[in-house]
Amino acid sequence: MIDDVARDRVPALMAEAGELALRWFRQDPAALGELDKGRPGAYDPVTEADKAVEGFLREELSRLFPGDRVIGEEAGTSGSGASGRTWLIDPIDGTKAFVSGVPMWGVLLGLSVGDDPVAGWLRQPYLGETFGAIDGEGWFDGPHGRAPLRVRPTTELGEAVMYTTHPSMFETDEERAAFGRISTAVRLQRFGGDCYSYGLLALGQLDLVVENGLQPYDVGALIPIVRAAGGVITDRAGRTPVDGGFVVAAATPELHAAALAALDG
């Protein structure tokens, strides 16, 4: 599935992209070049770090893999896609955490062959951590070396630790009611995390992530990581969430089924 060039070169690209992002992290907010976009009244920051990291990764991937398609949050789609492979870039997933100085953000890079997500990397450079997965093999690189990714064996909602970036992700009355049902069923609920929550799930530190309104580049790198750790990640209908949307990631099939049941009421 993944050629040697990708295996050998991508980790170095992710490390360099992370160092590039750190040039702006915890710096003067006025220097971040923030812009508002999206719904009127919504704050959706875009920083110079977002643009620089995506530009770097897009240029390098296009040079190394000229037949591949590249899709990024900031600059859209480039490349012919003649190879059947697509790279998905979220240069700073968790930009609101980034501009707040909170290190629960990450540089995301996913690779799909056709519609199949086959590899993903999550780099958190401030903590010196990388979560990765290639062809079903997942690993965590941190300050103390490399370890395999492995989810916890939790099967009951009442024993689960659940993360959600923010409850405002659930916009309709039905979505808020569904989220309320699952929130009251779990053992512990916490907010924040963005992509980093999925890494912690794969590392066996929490059990469940429930979110809404995701884009393909938000989740493309995370699907292989969660799956390689033994977890389950789908949309609310149980399908692979390649298009984003409402996403449910769970440590075990039993917990995932219980989460979907609670959401459906």
Mean pLDDT of 3-23: 92
Mean pLDDT of 56-62: 97
- Of how many residues is the chain composed? 265
DSSP state of 46: B
Q: State the pLDDT at residue 40.
A: 47
Q: Are strands 232-235 and 245-250 parallel, antiparallel or unpaired?
A: antiparallel
Mean pLDDT of 138-146: 96
Q: State the pLDDT at residue 2.
A: 76
C-beta neighbour count of 53 within 10 angstroms: 27
Q: What is the widest separation between alpha-carbon atoms in the chain?
A: 49
Q: What is the pLDDT of residues 103-140, one digit of tens each?
A: 999 999 999 999 999 999 999 999 999 999 999 999 99
Q: State the pLDDT at residue 237.
A: 96
Give the C-alpha distances (Å, rounded to integers) separating 130 from 71, 122, 200: 21, 6, 11
71-80, 188-197, 246-255: which has the minimum mean pLDDT?
A: 71-80
- pTM given for the model: 0.94
- 179: which residues sit within 8 A by CB, 6+ positions away? 164, 167, 170, 210, 212, 263
Whose tokens are 């643009």? That residue is 51
3 state SS of 69 = strand
Q: Percent of the chain scored above 90 by pLDDT?
A: 87
- The gap from C-alpha 1 to its chain's centroid, in whole angstroms, comes to 21
Are 74 and 54 contacting, i.e. CB atoms less than 8 angstroms apart?
yes
- pLDDT bin (cut points 50, 70, 90) of residue 37 is low
Question: Residue 264 corresponds to which amino acid?
Answer: D
Q: What is the pLDDT of residues 206-247, one digit of tens each?
A: 999 999 999 999 999 999 999 999 999 999 999 999 999 999
CB-facing half-sphere around the CA of 51: CA atoms within 13 A: 8
